[in-house]
Amino acid sequence: MNELKPATLELLRKVSCATLCTQLFKRGFRNVFLQGVMPLSRGDGGNLVGPAYTMRNIPAREDLDQVSAFENPEHPQRKGVESVPPGHVLVVDCRGETRVASGGQILTTRLQVRGAAGLVSDGPVRDSGPISQMEFPVYCAGGSAPLNLIHHHAVDLNVPIGCGGVAVYPGDIVVGDDEGVVIIPKHLADEVANDAAEQELMEQFVLERIEGGAALPGTYPPNAATKEAYAAWRKNKEL
């Protein structure tokens, strides 16, 4: 089920989404950062990282989307919560609809208890106050009290979706930090993680030089002399 290598997981838990965006840009990927999706709770404080397990919603229809629909254990929303593999992130396509919630505290708690890595939605959640206090990563479009059935009809699980304006395929790697969420195509996860960690080490060196009074030209981006100085500095550092 698209397991991440432990070393890749460890690196992605530490690097920033800004760095990941730069690395993906270098590889030709420009649309990777979810729009309108912000952290509501961060869990243990490290980055949210895990393969995507997706849920797709379409607009609700009044004859189908009644509270009684939830009595069916095969209802896609409830089935989705019960199906996310441990270590995966439930990513919900709400079409950017913010008038209603995409879930609440009970469903979020069930995800946590089942061992999911986190929840990402381009819609809001209800019970946003209690959820914000949970030790479980939730990224969404804020809070909204009305229930999802008013505007959402869940139809598909683990299919390609759009979330926050970004294509998300099942198994793509989801990374969330203080700024938001980045989606990494799964086949690039290992190399992007390694190069991102190296980039941040270089930027640590550059920042120290800037703090010491160095001017931007030749320092950022680094010229040959700065790269040589970095190589000497790098020998004593570990990723």
Contact by Cβ (8 Å): 139, 42: no
Q: Domain spans of the chain?
A: 6-187, 192-234
Q: How far apart are CA 227 and CA 205, in angstroms?
A: 10
Q: How confident is the model at residue 237 (pLDDT cuts 50, 70, 90)?
A: confident
Decide if pLDDT at 170 tops 70: yes
Residue 239: pLDDT band with limits 50, 70, 90:
low
List Cβ neighbours of 148 (8 Å cut-off, separation of 6 or more). 57, 77, 100, 101, 102, 103, 123, 154
Task: Please name the helix (run of DSSP H) or strand (run of DSSP E) that holds residue 191, with its range, or none.
Answer: helix 189-211
Q: How far apart are CA 120 and CA 39, in angstroms?
A: 9
What secondary structure does DSSP assign to 104-139, as a single string? -HHHHHHHHHTT--EEEESS-BSSHHHHHTSSS-EE
Residue in 128, 146, 166, 172 with CA at minimum distance from that of residue 40: 128
Give, in order, the Cα–Cα distances in Å from 58 to each of 65, 94, 100: 11, 8, 13
pLDDT value for 236: 79
pLDDT tens digits for 119-162?
A: 999 999 999 999 999 999 999 999 999 999 999 999 999 999 99
Query: Tokens representing 37?
Result: 């999706």
Q: Are 4 and 99 in contact (CB under 8 A)?
A: no
Q: What would be the CATH architecture of the domain defined by 6-187? A: 3-Layer(bba) Sandwich (3.50)
